[in-house]
Amino acid sequence: MNKKTHALPAGSEWSFASLERYDREIGRVAGEYGLDCYRHQLEIITAEQMMDAYASIGMPVYYHHWSFGKHFLSTEKSYKRGQMGLAYEIVINSDPCIVYLMEENTLPMQALVIAHAAYGHNSFFKGNYLFRTWTSAEAIIDYLVFARNVIAECEERYGEDEVERLLDACHALMSVGVDRYKRPPKLSLVKERERRKERETYLQSQVNDLWRTLPQRQAKEATEVERRFPEEPEENLLYFIEKNAPLLEPWQREIVRIVRKIGQYFYPQRQTQLMNEGWACFWHYTMLYHLYDQHLLGDGFMLEFLQHHTNVVFQPPFNSRQFGGINPYALGFAMWRDIQRMCREPTAEDREWFPELAGSDWRASMDFAMRNFKDESFIAQYLSPKLMREFRLFNILDDADEPRLRIEAIHDEQGYRALRQALADQYNLGSREPDIQVWNVDLRGERSLTLRHFRYQGRPLGDTRDAMLKHVATLWGFPVRLEEQDERGEVTPITEVKIDRRRENHTP
């Protein structure tokens, strides 16, 4: 057999024909490995367009807001000064899955990106339970178009400044505007459009109902049994505001809803970064090696590919100048490789720690892990002692009450479990971000909103809290209070913002 005729195009210049050949071969290998992907389309873009995409979180359509302009300006600045390279690709969790390729990339680079994004990330989007339950790949682009039109329409009707003020407040609350446990309904453009009018009138009537009772002085005994509203604390601030803020106009509720929906769509990405990137790296590595083993790729190609690959999965140690925390690409890639290894060539240690993995079919085991975990649980489940030793992981405790830092655990027999637990917790968004919930609304009195911060590990809120409360107050329209509950259950008020939008509006 003549190898030359089968070899894939070499050299660094890419062409549409060569991209197609690479895609076909990589697709064939992906099929052999049983990767289940959405259809995909490759889009060639320039560096400038890549910066545009950066500014709108990679989305091909997005509404307009100054903060995207700010991100664009800072990306442009650091790119033009050479402080930062642009990502080689952006991939969008949609169906068909859209993969942006930069025109500056060399041919091996494009092949790597195709394997990494068009098959790696793509199959993760399609398979992982978080993406399956939280996002609707086939509807997102339509929804973004819908969102942009609504917001443009509102800008025309109510003025850009008014909409901008609202969006500022909503963006600030985006990270506390997600449902962590409830399942959101599917997005659909047609339904959204149909329901929009309906929802506006319905919502408004509900809100009015809530506030219809004029504040009256209640008898003492009545106040004592007065129930809290909401009865259970609500973790999704934007949802609560959308449904209950008394002074919002219907169009304002609609915008709050849009920001909330988009925030929810991005939430799984934040919860699975390590897994997702590791998965994509594992597959570009595995598939390109597969092609190399079949003599379809030359040594030149592999050298360039490996150079990029090792750059991406490099983990500098904590005392290096390059250190910037744990590299999710490095740890993710290593964990997936490690799972594969444990399935195929388990050691005695692996048999003890992972009896269900050792000797099993690696494709099935990996598929199961990919589908059913997020970063936090993935680490808690699959981080092996061997990897902890390889990465030489150690756990430091920084307790503000103690004068010195303490090493809690290292990569040794006594430390493995504690270390693994600590690392998993580090990837738990619930402990990384402050836990703030809607605690109460003073329905009978001044209609103030009380938020409660549940302190985790004694960590206080940062200095942004005053600015944040102002944003909440902008949306709520009445005073907003913030209180804090520590681990012993003691509650202390922290701060409040006094505001009454009715009065502002009514003063001539």
Partner 1 sequence: MLQIIDRRNDSKNKSAVNRNRFIRRFKGQIRKAVQEAIARRNIADIDNGEKVGIPAKDISEPQFRHGRGGRWSVVQPGNDRFVTGDEIERPEEGAGGRGSGASLEGEGLDDFVFTLSREEFLDIFFDDLALPHLVKTQLARIAEYKRVRAGYTSTGVPANINVVRSLRGATGRRLAAGGPYQKALRALRAELAELELCGDGDSERAAELRSEIARLLRRIEALPFIDTFDLRYNNRIRIPAPSTQAVMFCVMDVSGSMDDEKKQIAKRFFMLLYLFLTRTYEHIEIVFIRHHTQAMEVDEDDFFHSRETGGTVVSSALELMLRVVRERYASNVWNIYCAQASDGDNWDADSPKCRDMLEASIVPLIQYYAYIEISGGEPQNLWREYAKVKANHPQRFAMQQIAGLPDIYPVFRELFRKSLA
d(CA 22, CA 34): 18
Considering the complex, state which of residue 100 and residue 265 has its C-beta at the smaller distance from partner 1: 100
CB 29 → partner 1: shortest distance, Å?
Answer: 15
Alpha-carbon gap, residue 491 to 355, rounded angstroms: 46
Chain residues 488-507 in contact with partner 1, contact rule CB under 8 A: none
Which residue, 119 or 279, has its beta carbon nearer to partner 1? Answer: 119
Told to check if 415 binds partner 1 by CB under 8 A, we report: yes
Annotate 50-94 with three-state secondary structure. HHHHHHCCCCCCCCCCHHHHHHHHHHHHHHHCCCCCCCCEEEECC
Alpha carbons 497 and 226: distance in angstroms, whole number: 24
CB-based contacts of 117, cutoff 8 Å, min separation 6: 89, 91, 99, 280
With binding defined as CB under 8 A, does residue 145 bind partner 1?
no
Stretch binding partner 1 (CB under 8 A), from 206-214, 290-298, 406-414, 490-498: 406-414
Q: Interface mask (CB under 8 A) for partner 1, residues 258-297, using x and -?
A: ----------------------------------------
Task: Find, among 478, 358, 477, 378, the residue nearest to 420 by Cα.
Answer: 378
Backbone angles phi, psi at 452, to 5 degrees: -125, 130
CB of 316 to partner 1, least distance (A): 7
Alpha-carbon gap, residue 122 to 113, rounded angstroms = 12
Given the complex with partner 1, which of 409 and 480 has the nearer CB atom? 409
| Among 335, 328, 292, 303, residue whose Cα is nearest residue 313 | 328
Among 436, 438, 441, 499, binds partner 1 (CB under 8 A): 436
Q: Which tokens is 467 given?
A: 């600015």
**Whole-angstrom distance, CA of residue 30 vs CA of residue 288:** 10
Q: Which of 150, 409, 438, 441 touches partner 1 (CB under 8 A)?
A: 409
User: Is the Cβ–Cβ distance between 381 and 369 less than 8 Å?
Assistant: yes
Binding to partner 1 in span 157-186, by CB under 8 A: 160, 164, 168, 171-172, 174-176
Which of 70, 197, 351, 498 lies at the binding interface for partner 1 (CB under 8 A)?
70
Residue 28: CB atoms within 10 A of its CB come to 13
Interacting span for partner 1 (CB under 8 A) from 262-270, 343-351, 361-369, 414-422: 414-422
Coil/strand/helix, residue 43:
strand
Report the site for partner 1 in 438-467 (rule: CB under 8 A). Answer: 455-465, 467
| Residue 248 parent element (H or E) | none
Q: What are phi and psi of 497, to 5 degrees?
A: -120, 125
User: Given candidates 392, 417, 498, 502, which one binds partner 1 under the rule CB under 8 A?
Assistant: 392
> Which residues between 196 and 225 bind partner 1 (CB under 8 A)?
none
Q: Residues 51, 92, 287, 339: which binds partner 1 (CB under 8 A)?
A: 51
Residue 468 touches partner 1, criterion: CB under 8 A: yes
Please identify, among the stretches 96-104, 124-132, 214-222, 364-372, the one whose residues bind partner 1 according to the rule CB under 8 A: 96-104
Classify residue 276 as left (phi > 0), alpha (psi -120 to 50) or beta.
alpha
Check the CA dihedral 252-172-59-123 and report its sign. Answer: negative
Q: Does 49 bind partner 1 (CB under 8 A)?
A: yes
How many chain residues bind partner 1 (CB under 8 A)?
A: 98
CB of 326 to partner 1, least distance (A): 6
Please report whether residue 43 would count as binding partner 1 according to CB under 8 A.
Answer: yes
Q: How far is the CB of 42 from partner 1 (least distance, A)?
A: 5
Q: Taking contact as CB under 8 A, which single stretch among the options 70-78, 128-136, 199-207, 287-295 is the one that binds partner 1?
A: 70-78
Q: x-or-dash pattern for partner 1, window 294-333, by CB under 8 A? A: ---------------------xxxxxx--xxxx-------
Interface with partner 1 includes 403 (CB under 8 A)? yes
Q: Is 422 in the site for partner 1 (CB under 8 A)?
A: yes
Encoded one letter per residue, x for contact with partner 1 by CB under 8 A and - for no contact, window 352-391 reads ---------------------------------------x
84 binds partner 1 (CB under 8 A): no
Tell the smallest beta-carbon distance from residue 395 to partner 1 (Å): 5
Q: How far apart are CA 84 and CA 324, in angstroms?
A: 15
User: Residue-wise over 300-315: b if at least 16 C-beta within 10 A, else e?
Assistant: ebbebbeebbeebbeb
Question: 303, 408, 446, 498: which one contacts partner 1 (CB under 8 A)?
Answer: 408
Q: Which residues contact 181 (CB under 8 A, 6 or more apart)?
A: none
